[in-house]
Amino acid sequence: MSTTKTTIIGDSHTIAIKDGFAKRGGADLGEVMIDRLQQIKNGVLREGVAESELEEIAAAAQPGDLIVSVLGGNQFNVFGLMRHPEPFDFIEPGDPDEALDPEARAIPVKIMEATFERFVRGRDGKLLKKLAGGKATVLHLEAPPPKDDDAFILSHAETYFKKLDISTVGLSKPALRRKLWRLQSRMTKALCDEIGVVFVPAPDATKDPSGFLKRDYYGRDATHANAAYGVVVLDQIAGHPRGA
């Protein structure tokens, strides 16, 4: 009797999943592979799955297998974690804070949608389509919700943001960061629906009443979650139906 497989591939948010697996295990996930994509950082190649291998992984998977994408997910932070020289705001459909910041320039949501659609359908979207080309059920995990603790973010900012002088520039308002996350998720889900990938929302248990990441699930830096978050996500994956 063959064993079903769960293959989890992505970028930096994969770390929380891998750390969660080390704590939780995966007896209910079949044969498990968790890996990041190769990346050249500071001129050094970080080992991992090559982008050219994704189609082979999809082709080798069987109907009872799961392929889980953790591709991208941090565009909303790169775009809007730091305060913009000309503060902006927009109305995101369904966001609980529909009021516009009176100190910010109002941007039509259609412009914001077009911007994030380019992000989503660029490199990440092309790679996701490669994973979706086989017989396995393919899931794509929503990025972890944003953090609303400004002091934590400023004191734990990644090198990328430090080089941009985040401590001097400052942060955008938490409500805007949440809108950007929701917008990114909406654009990503639209792509997933289009190519037959199941979009998996961040677990409700990891969010506070306002929709931000609970402190218990903060990772070591400004934008990532931790192993406890990875455990909850693995529970979520384990409960997902597999194809026949």
At residue 47, the pLDDT reads 84
Domain boundaries of the chain, sorted by first residue: 5-238
At residue 227, the pLDDT reads 99
Q: What are the backbone dihedrals phi and psi of residue 138, each rounded to the nearest 5 degrees, phi first?
A: -115, 125
Rg, the chain, Cα only: 18
At residue 133, the pLDDT reads 87
Residues with pLDDT less than 50, the chain: 1
H helix or E strand, kind and range, residue 199: strand 198-200
CB 69 within 8 A of CB 138: yes
β pairing state of 39-41 and 44-46: antiparallel
CB 196 within 8 A of CB 189: no
pTM of the entire predicted model:
0.94
| Amino acid present at 70 | V
What CATH number does the domain located at 5-238 have? 3.40.50.1110
pLDDT digits (tens, 9 = 90+) for 88-145: 999 998 877 678 999 999 999 999 999 999 999 999 999 999 999 899 999 999 999 9
Number of Cβ within 10 Å of residue 70's Cβ equals 25
